[in-house]
Chains A and B, each alone.
Chain A
Amino acid sequence: MAYIAIFITYIFINNFILSQFLGLCPFIGVSKNSESAIGMGMAVTFVMGIASIITWVVYNLVLLPLGLAYLQTLSFILVIAGLVQFVEMIIQKNSPALYQALGIFLPLITTNCAVLGIAIMNITEGYNIMESFSAGIAAGIGFTLALVLMSNIRERLDLHPVRKAFRGVPIAFISGGLMALAFMAFDKSLLTNLLG
């Protein structure tokens, strides 16, 4: 039950983009067409899941026993940067097709605040390792959902006349705001209604 709650929370209630403002740069930058939105979303979900596990291990099995908790930010970002590089190399070697699809997005993920964000959140929420992993995957799915919805909206907007000053980024923000309004329908009471 706890895992279902985590999934619903991170996909709908605390959607990373639409209610936490984490990962806004790719939300605006990579949402011009739906193909690249799906690619970016998959790459982020993948990295967030693995990063959640590794940062949990680093924090609880290395930093805490050594009394180095203040190095959290520094070590997490290094782990994530290394991980992204490593994932890129593995995918390039083993699956050229997947590399074609995800390759150009991988370097961007290091500086995506959603990845470092979930790593820090797992620690502050006090999740265990499986909960951290679920939260990472769920937050990634929530990110993908918002990104794909946004890219579809923007593809439609391209076909419609928009006032010159609003073209491009401003209308994207306003569409995002309207989506966030819709997502406000998901709140904590949803969890209590569903799971009791």
Chain B
Amino acid sequence: MATERMQVLTKGFFKENPVFIIMLGLCPTLGVTTQVVNGIGMGLSVIFVLVFSNIFIAMLKNIIPNSVRIPAYIVIIAAFVTIVEMVMHAYAPSIYQALGIFLPLIVVNCIILGRAEAFANKNTVLDSFLDGVGMGIGFTLSLTLIAFIREVFGAGTITLVPIGGFDGVIEIPLLYTYPVRVLTLAAGALLLMGYLKAFFEWNAARKRG
């Protein structure tokens, strides 16, 4: 039983990674990943919305009539997105600015509606919670990876949260002077995503033998 629970939690990390394997939630994945801190901020917002919407949908699954379930899910998701928007606006205004339009667009992020439809409406509250956490962490890991590659090679910096005297920006000597600028642009994001996806396909084929 315990190992099954662990599987529900960890399958989202790599085996069913929402970005690279299931290919859901691509718009924010490419739109906000110009800096590492934005990737992490987006990931945390999605974890919050995903976990709470999964819990609520799992709790309400017997009450919501089947024919109006999609609009009902959207209302639940939109409510949590509004909470995230207001909290971010108040406590992390710089990330709120950087995420811009992609923060309200979490509502239509296919990962969240996809997990509601594929998992939360047939499973228990605890399993749905674990599924939300696992998928959310998988999403955050992917975003952080893409943002890390794009920022390190495209701008020669790693931007994290400023703490105390540290302003939150790490500069990488050679790359800072000669960055591969295209990676920070829209075209670079699409190219990088293509190569990463090809790498994961190659890796999966190699494992199958």
Contact = CB atoms under 8 A, between A and B. Distances in A.
Interface of A: 18-25, 28, 70-74, 77-78, 81, 110-113, 116-117, 120-121, 124, 164-167, 169-174, 176-178, 180-181, 184
A85 B86 CA distance: 30
Nearest to B78: A74
- Going nearest first, the 9 A-B pairs with the smallest beta carbon separation are A173-B194, A177-B191, A177-B190, A174-B194, A180-B187, A170-B198, A165-B202, A21-B31, A74-B78
Interface residues of B, number: 43
A21 B107 contact: no
Given A73-B107, A113-B105, A165-B201, A81 B74 contact: yes
Nearest to B30: A21
B188 interface: yes
29 contacts: A18-B187, A20-B31, A22-B101, A71-B82, A73-B81, A73-B82, A73-B85, A74-B75, A74-B82, A78-B78, A81-B74, A111-B110, A113-B105, A116-B104, A120-B105, A164-B205, A165-B202, A169-B23, A169-B197, A170-B198, A173-B193, A174-B190, A174-B194, A176-B190, A177-B188, A180-B185, A180-B190, A184-B185, A184-B187
B22 to A, nearest CB: 11
Contacts of B82: 70-71, 73-74
Given A71-B82, A73-B85, A116-B107, A23 B27 contact: yes
B145 interface: no
Contacts of B78: 73-74, 77-78
Interface of B: 23-24, 26-28, 30-31, 70-71, 74-75, 78-79, 81-82, 85-86, 101, 104-105, 107-110, 113, 182, 185-195, 197-199, 201-202, 205
A78 B70 CA distance: 11
A21 B186 contact: yes
Given A112-B108, A173-B191, A120 B101 contact: yes
Contact of B197 (A72, A78, A173, A184): A173
Contacts of B86: 70
Contact of A73 (B26, B104, B109, B199): B104
B194 A171 contact: yes
Contacts of B182: 181
Contacts of A113: 27, 105, 108-109
Contacts of B201: 164-167, 170
A7 B24 CA distance: 30
Nearest to A180: B187
A135 B32 CA distance: 23
Nearest to A24: B26
B187 A177 contact: yes
A70 B90 CA distance: 13
Contacts of A78: 71, 74-75, 78
A163 B144 CA distance: 28
A4 to B, nearest CB: 24
B68 to A, nearest CB: 10
Contacts of B193: 173, 177
Contact of B101 (A81, A117, A174, A176): A117
A28 B195 CA distance: 15
Given A73-B78, A169-B197, A173-B194, A180 B186 contact: yes
Contacts of A177: 187-194
A16 to B, nearest CB: 10
